[in-house]
Amino acid sequence: YRIDNQDLHCMFCLEGGTSEDPLFHCGCGCRPDSGMSIGHIKCFQEFARASFADEKKREDSVHCGVETCSNCSQYRIGIFFFEMNLILWKLYDPDCLTRKNVQGIDNKRAFFMRRSLRCLDYALSEIDLDSAHNDLILYCRLRILYLTKNVRKQIQLNECIRIQQEIQEDVDIGKILIGIKKYQAAIDFNRRNYEKYLLNITRYPQLKQKSLYVLHNYARSLFEAFIASLQKSDVGNDPPYHYLEEAERLME
């Protein structure tokens, strides 16, 4: 959110805000007067560039460490996270959306391209979903996520990491299918992801950290389909109560 207090200063350049270059709070848990949470958009953009240039930060995190506050360790959200992810998207691979063929690209290029796509998706996910362009944003994210899946197939990964990434990608796609109200497609897609999770959980116990997201997605798609059927059900057509029963069973 915007900071209009003239006594506060940017945590990077130590200058105040103006009408043309206002200060914003980064969305973490720090107070605005802590000196660790507010700044100019251009200063946080430069922070993202500097963090990307740090090889260790780039190896440790797709966001190069800019996603969390160094003082309170909470995630940054809102306009700064949006702007920094746009910077990282272009630094990793500015041509990731226009490359016509990803087959056969080398491992490093595929790795950077996947990170670029993820940063772009993170940026779009920060846009207010109540905006007039909500459906357009969700369809854009859907395309980005399918591109991400294709690029990931070009990266050499061990089997456990590959399955973890695949399940997480499908969790994100499943959420978007619900968001654009493609409920039957969401049910089918989230069911397959749930079955994939069950098939691999014994062999890879690390997948347990994904269980809540996988189960919630599948249950929510069933529940939303049930609610939608209630709103447009015709006389003589019973709502799919078995969807509701299955959703309740999943969330027990």
Can you give the pLDDT at residue 104?
80
> DSSP secondary structure string, 186-245?
HHHHHHHHHHHHHHHTTT-GGGGGGHHHHHHHHHHHHHHHHHHHHHHPPTT----HHHHH
Q: Is residue 235 predicted with pLDDT exceeding 60?
A: no
Q: Residue 203 and residue 187: Cα distance in Å, rounded?
A: 25
Q: Where are the domains of the chain?
A: 1-77
**Pair of tokens at residue 9:** 């200063």
Q: What is the mean pLDDT of residues 49-68?
A: 94
What is the percent of the chain where pLDDT is above 70?
96
Give the number of other CB atoms < 10 A from CB of residue 84.
29
Amino acid identity, residue 225? A
Q: Is residue 233 predicted with pLDDT exceeding 70?
A: no
Poorest-pLDDT segment among 13-17, 35-39, 93-97, 100-104 = 100-104
**Pair of tokens at residue 15:** 């200058």
Claim: this prediction has a pTM higher than 0.85? yes
Question: Within the chain, where are the H helices?
Answer: 41-53, 55-60, 79-92, 107-125, 134-152, 159-179, 183-200, 211-232, 241-250
Domain 1-77 sits in CATH at 3.30.40
**For 154-198, what is each residue's pLDDT tens digit?**
998 999 999 999 999 999 999 999 999 999 999 999 999 999 999
| Buried b or exposed e, range 179-207, using 16+ CB within 10 angstroms | beebbeebbebbbebbebbeebbeeeeeb
Q: Is residue 34 predicted with pLDDT exceeding 90?
A: no
**For 115-128, what is each residue's pLDDT tens digit?**
999 999 999 998 87
Helix, strand, or coil here: 38?
Answer: strand
